[in-house]
Amino acid sequence: MILEIVQYGHPALRAKGRRVEKIDIKIRQLAEDMLETMVDADGVGLAAQQVGLPLQLFVVDVSDVTDRKSGLRINGEAVDINDHMPMALVNPEVEPYGKEQAGPEGCLSIPGIRADVIRPISVRVKAQDLEGNIVEFEADGLLARAVQHENDHLNGILFLDHLDPKTRDECLRELEESL
């Protein structure tokens, strides 16, 4: 089922997500609906906050992106990213590392606005999957960026918050004009 994506200004986007204590059929259905919604909207990630539910859950899928590279390592070994997409991560702990790099970002909740955001190029992630199993991996490039962007959502943070005040004001003005 395609869900409504809430837009900039909605209070859920500023809410810290509750920990998911029980990964049950309802959570699995929500994750499935979020994936369907993300694909329908041509996104590479979607957080529960963006469908109005402040929970520690996001989905991501960078497998269709060919012009921006991603890397994925499990137990220190590089694996084929397409074997692990899409990902639904529950209660993630995300630790960014490595040198910082600027890269373009947009957000399904802030339509039409794109800006370069500076973030570390890699992340270490520990989370639960939809069966409740612990998953651990390291990611680089676009996947690392997407994970950081989505993990920010789980904490009520938007990519606009990372911009310098002048660029942020320009984005907000552009957004207002488009509404």
Token digits for 90? Answer: 């529950």
Residue 48 near Zn ion by CB under 5 A: no
CA 47 to CA 82: how far, in whole Å? Answer: 20
Stretch that binds Zn ion, among 26-34, 89-97, 102-110, 113-121 (CB under 5 A): 102-110
Token digits for 66? Answer: 């060919």
150 is catalytic: yes
> In the complex, what is the shortest distance from the CB of residue 48 to Zn ion, in angstroms, rounded to a whole number?
12
Between 73 and 157, name the residue whose CB sits nearer to Zn ion: 157
CA 64 to CA 101: how far, in whole Å? Answer: 22
- Looking at the DSSP bridge assignments, the partners of residue 29 are none
What backbone phi and psi angles, to 5 degrees, belong to 160? -60, -30
Between 57 and 107, name the residue whose CB sits nearer to Zn ion: 107
Residues comprising the chain, all counted: 179
Residue 107 near Zn ion by CB under 5 A: yes
Residue carrying the six token digits 């402040």: 54
> In the complex, what is the shortest distance from the CB of residue 47 to Zn ion, in angstroms, rounded to a whole number?
7
Between 107 and 144, name the residue whose CB sits nearer to Zn ion: 107
Residues near Zn ion (CB under 5 A), total? 1
Q: Are 62 and 28 in contact (CB under 8 A)?
A: no
Q: Please identify which of the residues 150, 174, 176, 177 carries the catalytic annotation.
A: 150
Judged by the rule CB under 5 A, the positions of this chain that interact with Zn ion are: 107
Catalytic residues: 150
